[in-house]
Amino acid sequence: MARATGETEGTGTPSPSRRRRTRALAASTALTALTALAALAVQATALTAAPASAGTLPQGHDVSSHQRAVDWAAARARGASFVYVKATEATGYRNPYFARQYGGALRAGLLRGAYHFARPDLSSGAAQAAFFVRHGGAWRPDGRTLPPALDLEDNPYDRRQGPYDRRQGCYGLSGARTVAWIRAFSDEVLRLTGRRPVLYTTAHWWDTCTGGSRAFGADHALWIARHGSGPGTLPAGWSTWTFWQYGTGGGLPGDRNLFNGSPARLRAFARGPGESRVHGHHDDRLSSSSVHPGYLPSTRQ
């Protein structure tokens, strides 16, 4: 091993000049570290504080097995009025904490819904939708259950390094096959529950992996994921958002979200269309005065 520059030959003891340089280097390093910590603190504040544009919009969050035991009473005390809980992934994974999380949120007085993490590379959209609904994704018009949601994002199991690989990030599917997979999932959820799923995604994933499809904006609520001060450009097909995942922390477990409407409209969104039915399903065709503009439910009953 090479000897450090500035050490006294044969003794291993730093020379006076080495000690001066070491003290100067230590001071410089400390200053750099403090600057970096300050920058991280500013960044964390930006991510955990509600955006200035939030105003009085209902606050919520989303959790998964990573959060395990959640203090729901504390979450509500910190301003949460709704939560989405991960239920399933593909057709083989169930969140082992789902029942406790889902039930705990209800007992604390939060509106709650379930979401499914899409794995279009493993099985069909219809098969994954059926698995999801059987294991937590069901919806009922009780005013306390949010419609089921589908999580569409980059493939987290693609561990390749280097430039973004569209085929891997999109699970190896073409745009047309991705659109067909989402439609099959949505149709099966609608058949089983009477509600179209909320679609969670980023503008980048959607426009890259569906080829900028505009086929879902007319009958699916959008849950846009973009951490920062604004939701940014929306995916193709949508002119407004229903939920916005904008950051993490701030006293709420998991990711923080906003609902694009008043508390009354959030409750209306959960209740759905009431008891009227079309072709055996709940009629989701509500007027714009009944729900906020981001709620664009099914017209394909």
DSSP the chain: -PPPTTBPTTT-PBPHHHHHHHHHHHHHHHHHHHHHHHHHHHHHHHHHSPPGGGTTPPEEEEE-TTT-S--HHHHHHTTEEEEEEEEEETTTEE-TTHHHHHHHHHHTT-EEEEEEE--TTTS-HHHHHHHHIIIII---SSSSBPPPEEE----TT----SS--HHHHTTT--HHHHHHHHHHHHHHHHHHHSSPPEEEE-HHHHHHHSSS--SSTTTS-EEEE--SSS--SPPTT-SS-SEEEEEE-TTSSSEEEEESS-HHHHHHHHHTTTT-EETTEE-----TTTS-TT----S--
Q: What is the pLDDT of residues 105-125, one digit of tens each?
A: 999 999 999 999 999 999 999
Structurally, how many domains does the chain consist of?
1
The predicted pLDDT at position 234 comes to 98
Q: How confident is the model at residue 44 (pLDDT cuts 50, 70, 90)?
A: very low
How far is residue 21's CA from residue 27's CA, in Å, rounded to a whole number? Answer: 10
How far is residue 73's CA from residue 152's CA, in Å, rounded to a whole number? Answer: 30
Residue 7 forms part of a structural domain: no
Q: Are 168 and 136 in contact (CB under 8 A)?
A: no
Q: What is the pLDDT of residues 176-235, one digit of tens each?
A: 999 999 999 999 999 999 999 999 999 999 999 999 999 999 999 999 999 999 999 999
Residue 40 forms part of a structural domain: no
Q: What is the pLDDT of residues 52-100, one digit of tens each?
A: 667 789 999 999 999 999 999 999 999 999 999 999 999 999 999 999 9
Residue 263 forms part of a structural domain: yes
Residue 25 forms part of a structural domain: no
88: number of CA atoms within 13 Å, CB side?
Answer: 20
Residue 295 forms part of a structural domain: no
How far is residue 196's CA from residue 194's CA, in Å, rounded to a whole number? Answer: 7
Rounded mean pLDDT, 273-289 = 37
How far is residue 62's CA from residue 87's CA, in Å, rounded to a whole number? Answer: 11
The predicted pLDDT at position 55 comes to 75
Q: Which two tokens stand for residue 283?
A: 């009629």
For residue 228, how far is the Cα from the chain centroid?
13
The predicted pLDDT at position 289 comes to 31
Which residue did the predictor score with more confidence, 222 or 37? 222
The predicted pLDDT at position 277 comes to 33
Q: What is the pLDDT of residues 220-273, one digit of tens each?
A: 999 999 999 999 999 999 999 999 999 998 889 999 999 999 999 999 999 997
Residue 287 forms part of a structural domain: no
Cα dist from 290 to 185, 242, 265, 274, whole Å: 27, 14, 7, 11
Give the number of residues written for the chain: 301
Please identify every residue annotated as catalytic. Answer: 62, 151, 153
Q: How confident is the model at residue 168 (pLDDT cuts 50, 70, 90)?
A: confident
Residue 234 forms part of a structural domain: yes
pTM passes above 0.85: no
Structural domain harbouring 194: 50-282
Residue 233 forms part of a structural domain: yes
CATH number, domain with residue 226? 3.20.20.80
How far is residue 229's CA from residue 231's CA, in Å, rounded to a whole number? Answer: 7
